[in-house]
Structure 1
């Protein structure tokens, strides 16, 4: 039996994608609420963990670089770091286990579902290990938790608290950019007309099956410009720049509307700061959809092979867009080979646009304030 009163140091393990990391934030807040005086650290990936820098509910952030692929390049700008913040990066499984073992943690929440993550917690010598019963790894955990594929991912995380007698609250994610990052974001936004709607178009995604056709984004942008004189903002890695260049070429009104291409120019907290100054986000099922939702702006997310009931971003105004009548193969959770991608192709620009204009949150008056 776990006596929570004896816990002095806690480690949370969730090293993967941007969206996963954003969904971890409400979990972290719950841990801090119930353990106000203990040390709470987290192990995350370098490509997504910077979202957590500056979070007052964390004491230390450890980076585990188990992949050389970084979706976002870290800026390395010391002005974006808070005074006194330090971060440790482990580049191998063994080095990571040794480093964590030296910390003498009492409790680990293994939110990552892989066998290797539970093994890492076990090799780190942590007494209590709470995590999901996936990949035949329950024997490595002291408190295995049933993983439910049919509920939201955040609710699965929160079940890891319920198993030790804590009743959690479903907080919204909070991100804490520095003053420097906020100022940098504002410097970008002043390039746009403050009296016309500013719309985020996020076309990229970690998996090609979740991407909407470029010509569809172009058509939707033409609709939004014609109806609202919308301006557009693009964010992402340097490698995403070509995607938006191709979309712009397909727009009939490309010579008339304003757009701001920030691909490769921001870190994730700067992205979040930019989003807070926008009126609307339209995104694929991606990490940036989670950032946009967390910023508080109305966020529309395009779903095809994946399930909004499981992966919908957490925020004040978040709306999933998918076919009214699902296809027999939908959702496949991108676990099968697909030659037609009908679930995304049948989600037409006209369907998406009419869903936007039928929502009172984005009526013309709302956008032009």
Structure 2
């Protein structure tokens, strides 16, 4: 295999957490081709989570779902024109959208690698790439890295990366000081994009009460949407002593990374902040419901993971009820016990 690439494009179009799980591929390519410029093609909405990654030369955003057809077509051809000028000699594809096959054909890279998706076996798809790599590994990070196997690389990075600048932490530290938060705080993000990934608000309140009674301050975070903020408000109202909610919906991803990095512990459900915590090496307590808790777990050993399937049988994906809180079977007492294992001995008072 060619041992020198100067312009590399990585393609991954998924949600924020998925993008963080792609960073070991980016880091591995940078280690092995330190002089190469590495670009990433991703959804426009997910650009902020990778915006400070020093291994990335440029991020190119493709229109998400919900964009009008005319705008999508315009965005597609605009991107093709921009990317063709970069004259990539290597494309690494980690996504299965059909449109990507056309994209890769139009870019004309000398080498194009792709994961070998079982549901993408059409002649058009198969002829759009020069090399296919079979899936290997149980976790998403391992699967992503297996795409690079045909390159024969030996210096592999297995860590995820969440980057932020010193000024991001400086801003968050100032905000925490205004809110009276010291250095012994726990970050909890109870919200997720879909209800079936959520835990009961009253159970989160029990965990928060336990932490605050032991002297640990709790900072609640969330996305900026009305439903997320309503969830934060309800949880806070159920607590004996109100946790810090003023940062919910107000932190950009680099700032959220800085906030979680300096926390003693992160607690959350199956969503991007859990992957951020793993990347910045903050201890994690993560709650999973009827999703693949092995493939999608935060990529860290410093974790206690709760899977609803250990308490009650979970349905197969085809029978998933997206309006049901499968995590409800996880008792708050178990999560409270986990906090005692991962936090400093005794209390924080």
TM-score where L is the length of structure 2: 0.87
1:278 to 255, 263, 267: 263
Cα deviation for residue 36 of structure 1 reads 1.3
CA gap of 1:185–1:194, structure 2 versus 1, over 3 A, is: closer
Query: Which residue of structure 1 aligns with residue 348 of structure 2?
Result: 368
CA contact (8 A) 2:11 2:94 kept: yes
Alpha-carbon distance in structure 1 between the residues aligned to 2:158 and 2:175: 30
Do structure 1's residue 111 and structure 2's residue 99 form an aligned pair? Answer: no
Alpha-carbon distance in structure 2 between the residues aligned to 1:180 and 1:269: 10
Structure 1 gap segments, 5+ residues each: 70-88
The 10-residue stretch of structure 1 (113-122 or 296-305) with the greater mean CA deviation from structure 2: 113-122
TM-score where L is the length of structure 1: 0.83
Q: Map residues 327-338 of structure 1 onto 2, 5 A cutoff.
A: 327-330=312-315, 332-333=316-317, 335-338=318-321
Do structure 1's residue 147 and structure 2's residue 135 form an aligned pair? Answer: yes
Query: Which residue of structure 2 aligns with residue 67 of structure 1?
Result: 65
Query: Which residue of structure 2 aligns with residue 53 of structure 1?
Result: 51
Q: Map residues 290-309 of structure 1 onto 2, 5 A cutoff.
A: 290-309=275-294
Secondary structure, aligned partner of 2:305: strand
CA gap of 1:324–1:110, structure 2 versus 1, over 3 A, is: closer
Query: Which residue of structure 2 aligns with residue 10 of structure 1?
Result: 8
Secondary structure, aligned partner of 2:60: strand
Q: How many residues align?
A: 338
CA gap of 1:339–1:97, structure 2 versus 1, over 3 A, is: closer
Q: Map residues 108-187 of structure 1 onto 2, 5 A cutoff.
A: 108-134=91-117, 135-136=119-120, 137-147=125-135, 151-187=138-174
Alpha-carbon distance in structure 2 between the residues aligned to 1:192 and 1:293: 26
CA contact (8 A) 2:169 2:255 kept: yes
Deviations 1:222-248 (A, max 9, x none): 22223x133221223221211100111
The 10-residue stretch of structure 1 (40-49 or 93-102) with the greater mean CA deviation from structure 2: 93-102
Structure 2 gap segments, 5+ residues each: none
Alpha-carbon distance in structure 2 between the residues aligned to 1:185 and 1:196: 12
